[in-house]
Chains A and B, each alone.
Chain A
Amino acid sequence: MLEILRKTIKAGCQTTKYPAVPDIAPEGFRGKPEISDKCTFCGDCIKVCPPGVIWFTEKSGEKTLSLSYCGCIFCGRCEEACGYGAIKLTQEYELASKTKEDLITSIRSKL
């Protein structure tokens, strides 16, 4: 009994303060992928994406590269494959959303 009490006091409170205090993911955590302006629309990331959630559309000369977090498995293959460093995986993980449209990020080419 005393032993258990001693252990409990020694361990203290382990519960995270998450919703009140922001919890930053550890270094190297693979979270939300982001596409930057460096993108050249070569399509290397589309070829390597295992679930196939990166796609390319062309409408009247304007190229668009879109990525949906809905279905993304956060493997980081796109980051590895990109020769220009345009796709980077950030440490952000708070992605929950009410619609699928909110979960799509895209980059357009400048005309």
Chain B
Amino acid sequence: MTVEDEIEIMGQRLNDKIRNIFGRSLHIREVDAGSCNACEVEVNALSNPIYDIERFGLHIVASPRHADMLLVTGPVTRNMELALLKTYNATPSPKLVAAMGSCACNGGIFGDTYASCGGVDKIIPVDVYIPGCPPRPQAVIFGLMVALDKLEQKIRKKEV
């Protein structure tokens, strides 16, 4: 079996997974909650020809109302706290939240100060943590795959 065949199979498997869960592709809304913009650069790199996440049916959209998943970067500054909460409420359920970068996971280098909340999980529930400063695009793809397993569990729990 050649490498191309393997990719086809892998992509097909991921597509089936997404279709089973959502009935369509997964749409991601990226939220910058006070990040240093290194993570944003990596998110940009995800949709370039080299990493190209569109081939897996993952799309980055312009509104939380179109999205199934929030990709949050940054330690959540005081000014972005309410904005992040509003974005979370605007996303239709079932939804996923991924904390991308060390700042979003735990406050990172910014820590827990008067100006930053120190992590996304203090404001909204987080489903998957993607550490890295910033994470490589491959690490983000890996994180999204981990997140998709979680969503399957979430839906099953609701059904039970």
- Are B136 and A68 within 8 A (Cβ)? no
B85 contacts the other chain (CB 8 A) = no
Of A70, A97, A99, the residue contacting B102 (CB under 8 A) is A70
How many inter-chain residue pairs (CB < 8 Å) link A and B?
104
A50 to B3, CA, bound (A): 42
- Are A73 and B108 within 8 A (Cβ)? yes
- Are A70 and B145 within 8 A (Cβ)? no
Tell me the B39-94 residues at the A interface (CB within 8 Å). Answer: 49-52, 55-56
| A71-109 to B contact mask, C-beta < 8 Å, 1/0 | 111110000000000000000011111111001000000
A53 to B133, CA, bound (A): 14
CB contacts (< 8 Å) of A94 on chain B: these are: 138-139, 142
Of A52, A69, A98, the residue contacting B131 (CB under 8 A) is A69
- Are A98 and B150 within 8 A (Cβ)? yes
- Are B132 and A15 within 8 A (Cβ)? no
B116 contacts the other chain (CB 8 A) = no
User: If A21-B6, A96-B130, A98-B150 touch, does A71 touch B102 (CB 8 Å cutoff)?
Assistant: yes
- Are B50 and A16 within 8 A (Cβ)? yes
Chain A interface residue number, banded: 20 to 34
| B138-156 to A contact mask, C-beta < 8 Å, 1/0 | 1101110111001000000
A42 contacts the other chain (CB 8 A) = no
- Are A71 and B105 within 8 A (Cβ)? yes
10 cross-chain pairs, A with B, having the tightest CB-CB distances, nearest first: A71-B106, A96-B143, A73-B133, A20-B10, A70-B105, A20-B7, A96-B130, A20-B6, A70-B106, A69-B131
Apart from A20-B6, A93-B136, A96-B142: 10 A-B pairs, beta carbons within 8 A: A16-B51, A20-B9, A70-B105, A71-B105, A71-B106, A71-B131, A94-B138, A95-B132, A96-B139, A103-B105
- Enumerate 30 A-B pairs (CB-CB under 8 Å) in ascending A order: A14-B49, A15-B50, A17-B3, A17-B7, A18-B51, A18-B141, A19-B141, A20-B6, A20-B7, A20-B11, A51-B108, A52-B111, A69-B131, A70-B106, A71-B108, A74-B132, A74-B133, A93-B132, A94-B139, A95-B131, A96-B130, A96-B139, A96-B142, A97-B129, A98-B127, A98-B150, A99-B129, A100-B121, A100-B129, A103-B105
